[in-house]
Structure 1
């Protein structure tokens, strides 16, 4: 008989532990698919590599299978270790690109089969092609993610726009995602580029940073120098609700921006006025942050219904309420244009638009930006970043 007291596991704790493990099952299933297809393509599909090549290659895939979720958990979980987040994000992007091009490589395999090329030559050509394409795309994608975004110019006709506002320039940045990779110099360069674009209104449409003001302020503070003749305005994105949304709203106010937390301002030029309104992100209410939740009625309260409305709303899917309210132009981000092709097709399952100018209802137009920065994997493949210059035209 032991003198030690027996350890009893409370039923609630047992159920929580079981639910945690159950939530991991889909994660590991997806990981098996994402890594299993490339493993088969590069090592097992008739390549007949020497045993040392098979062993080393399989060990690399096994290390990635363990290392990727571990790094993501340490980097984006409770620990918030930036070095782990950088490793996990890079691995996630590399695995996605490797998976996509391993799948597409089966078309090359079929073509070589039709051409009469036998194994192991056929499978080794396929494996070599996948490695070469993936390496090239990752180098190019990293360069695209880290470069100063190109300026994209778009004219937007607005029927209710007064003559004094014709030609008004709205410079839009969004999805900067200041995070584990310190991009303070990049942030300063973006601000300089915004200032060169001679904006009347400068907008940041959410997903400003991943993390708290305390740890990301160095990267965000160059935005204090951004110039807009009439206004500088900001709304929250979904990522602010992973850290401290109210903290970022308050911080942007301290550096001279108007935080449009379900409210509006009115700008005037040439005797004509424009309502510039903003709403919280679509996820704000579910986040549990007190006093937050997209509320377009509150944002437009006491505004003149005859004036044109420019609305900042982070997610394109918020355009439904904008169209119902007769908003003239909504600007959004969130999609990143897919960021790494062909993820744009998956984004389209959730959002009405992935990129560009679109019409909704009788009056409302929506412009969806590909984003100025990037989230997570430091790669952009066939989805270039942008700083958007929207010129409003009386039309």
Structure 2
């Protein structure tokens, strides 16, 4: 066709080899990471001077080798084409366990060796075995505690959020937030029902779910999601898609949430009125929607606010905190997000911060916009939460134009 050139700009030509090398390196990460997760603790616990009896060394090595081989196989079987829940549970549990063992083998192992050196404990078998038992003990305690934290009904976190443009008639509006429920291989139907019961005790005006309902299709996880139909709100129950919906037939989840009585805010808004004042409640699809290839899905703030009075305050639901740059540019007053899980298993927190501007909590962006990032209501993958407790959030919106009231922050 005339008018079309196959010549690329020089800078693109220069960058292409670098990008190709990066892609090649990234392909090896899934192969290297499992080896490190299992080989490092194996060395620290068995071969760093402990001189265990041969049966102990052989048994321990066999267990680590089994984990190294079994974890990727189980995860591929559980999360790949076969979608076998039992395999997913095994693979996810091994992943979480290896991450905790790796972390504390490196950190605690190094610090303990340094401390023992400083107090005069000579290098040798006894010192090495002290490190082994300390790492195993701490890891076991963290995994047990993390499992309980992941499986329990989240505590309610309450806080006041003042919005300067909020009218006095809307002062005290109660917004309940749940997110990242991640119904999945572990059947959490009873947990789901108890979460919904807890939300109902909050007597919220508006209840929001900011995505990542489940891992799996709506048809497959319907029983776990069904209790969401029991959630009560005096004004509205609204929902936006998360990135995991786009791994599992997102439109099916949008349709199911509509069936369960939740209003999907797919690049649109509704108006919430009280006491003569109005709040724009808007939502956008997840930022991954555009690349999903699903027709009609994409994160479009302009579409979400189309027709809304620009003088009205805006509450925006967006699954990922990274959408805050667009929200700030668009004059949004408060964005509600999830996605980060607060890191879920420390020190994964620091890796999350590479991708997201905020890990958890309330933050301010620009002159007007605030962002609340929930640590999530459920968990993804490994059934553990270590130093990242789950939450159900109650945000009480406050107007500077109303009389001063006691804070409900907790």
Q: Same fold, TM exceeding 0.5? A: yes
- 2:70 aligned with 1:56: no
Counterpart pick for 2:206 among 201, 204, 221:
201
1: distance between equivalents of 2:57 and 2:121? 22
**Structure 1 residues 216 and 346, CA, compared in 2 at 3 Å: closer, same or farther?**
same
Matches for 1:312-391 after TM superposition, within 5 Å: 312-391=317-396
Task: Name 1:111's counterpart in structure 2.
Answer: 115
SS at match of 1:348: helix
Aligned to 1:302: 307
Matches within 5 A, 1:66-105: 66-104=69-107, 105=109
Q: Distance in 1 between matches of 2:48 and 2:346?
A: 25
2:147 counterpart residue number: 142
TM-score (norm 2): 0.90
Q: What SS does the corresponding residue of 2:354 show, helix, strand or coil?
A: coil
* Distance (Å, rounded) in 2 between the aligned partners of 1:163 and 1:34: 54
1:310 Cα shift? 0.3
Cα RMSD between the aligned structures?
1.3
Equivalent residue number for residue 20 of structure 2: none
Match of 1:3 in 2: none
For the residues of structure 1 that align with 2:379 and 2:134, how far apart are their CA atoms? 27
Q: Which runs of 4+ in 1 moved over 4 A?
A: 20-24
Q: CA deviation at 1:26?
A: 2.2
Q: 1:24, CA displacement in angstroms?
A: 5.9
Contact preservation (8 Å) 1:113, 1:122: no
Deviations 1:146-195 (A, max 9, x none): 11100001110001101110000000000000000000000000000000
Partner of 1:17: none
Once the two structures are superposed, residues 17-38 of structure 1 have per-residue CA deviations (whole angstroms, 9 ceiling, x without a partner) of: xxx9997632221122111210
Give yes or no for contact 1:277–1:300 (8 Å, CA) kept in 2. yes
Aligned pairs, how many? 376
Name the CA distance, whole Å, in 1 between partners of 2:81 and 2:347.
Answer: 31
Secondary structure of 1:208's match?
Answer: coil
Deviations 1:9-58 (A, max 9, x none): xxxxxxxxxxx999763222112211121011100000011111111111
3-state DSSP of counterpart to 2:31? helix
Matches within 5 A, 1:231-242: 231-242=236-247
Segments of 5+ residues of structure 2 without an aligned counterpart are: 1-22, 401-410
Residues 145-294 of structure 1 mapped to structure 2, 5 A cutoff: 145-294=150-299
Partner of 2:50: 47
